[in-house]
Homo-oligomer: A and B are copies of this chain.
């Protein structure tokens, strides 16, 4: 039977671990102290000789850390689902090359973290697999020179511009979990939505319509009110996209203002800095979810605990802008997509 709407997993899958890697700007931000791995040189090269290689190194360290935290080895992992923003996804291709793990490359733009969690969870739960990994990353300098201009140019940025996060997150999903560990119970995959935005410096506006489409469908079908969740967490809408999402949801009868947060607005101090509308990139939601959110849901942690209200029931919605520089120069609009993951934790 067709299941275009919410998809419930045959069996929930549990987060066995999550690991976060961040660059110098991310370390300075409000979540910096919760990052598992940062760059000792503080030049965002992570010991490599290019921004592109640095992003691969970040994925490698994120997955290595997640595997170690879960007390496993690479040989225990049945598959890894990974992606990034670089052309041909080489951040993931090279970063995960040394792991002896079946590899599925994804491209979901900044929605990749949620896409990877959905496909890893489906693979683990649906096929009766063992531990399955999801990894996503972005690197500010690699992304800026590829999508806009080399940062050395010092070009002035628009107020709606977002700051591509230098960060990576890795997650291990397990068929069985420790009591109280957070688990994925269901998800809602996104559809591509085009509302006519074609400004490379306003990704929030390009992605917000997809977030509206997905969230509205989820709430309509589940019959739940926004307030019944502890948190509705979008990936990287930033200030502009957040405004659009909240306004449109309100006009549809859903007031999400009390329960909605955006990873792009959590990761940096935007006041008085050059982060403008907030963080973006695959690494934004991956880093925030792994460093600051899952610890508040009781993920088995051996490193850092994060203060704040215990979270039991959240919607994680990562949005992506499905364009390339060439497609925008050729006059195309920027379609968006939003994948939703429902994460529940029964612990106290």
- A residues with CB within 8 A of B: 1-4, 7, 9-10, 50, 52-53, 75-79, 83, 85-90, 93-94, 96-97, 100-109, 115, 118-119, 122-123, 125-131, 189-192, 194, 322-327, 330, 332, 335, 337
Contacts and interface: CB of A to CB of B under 8 A. Distances in A.
Given A122-B123, A323-B88, A327-B52, A192 B332 contact: no
A53 B87 contact: no
Contacts of A86: 324, 326
B4 A94 contact: no
Nearest to A93: B322
Contacts of A53: 330, 332
Contacts of A126: 10, 122-123, 125-127
A98 B206 CA distance: 16
A93 to B, nearest CB: 4
A85 to B, nearest CB: 8
A322 B76 CA distance: 24
A7 B189 CA distance: 24
Given A4-B78, A106-B107, 14 more contacts: A2-B78, A2-B130, A2-B131, A10-B126, A53-B330, A83-B107, A88-B323, A94-B322, A97-B192, A97-B335, A103-B337, A104-B106, A106-B106, A123-B126
A175 B209 CA distance: 33
A335 B96 CA distance: 11
21 contacts: A2-B75, A2-B129, A3-B129, A4-B75, A7-B127, A9-B127, A10-B128, A53-B330, A86-B324, A87-B325, A88-B322, A88-B324, A90-B332, A93-B323, A94-B322, A97-B194, A97-B335, A104-B115, A105-B109, A119-B119, A122-B127
Given A3-B129, A323-B93, A104 B119 contact: yes
A100 B189 CA distance: 12
Contacts of A96: 192
A50 B122 contact: no
A87 to B, nearest CB: 4
Contacts of A1: 130
A108 B105 contact: yes
A225 to B, nearest CB: 24
Contacts of A108: 104-105
Contacts of A93: 192, 322-323, 327, 335
A323 B92 CA distance: 10
> Taking each of A4, A102, A324, which has the highest tally of chain B beta carbons within 10 Å of its own beta carbon?
A102
A123 B129 CA distance: 13
A330 B52 CA distance: 9
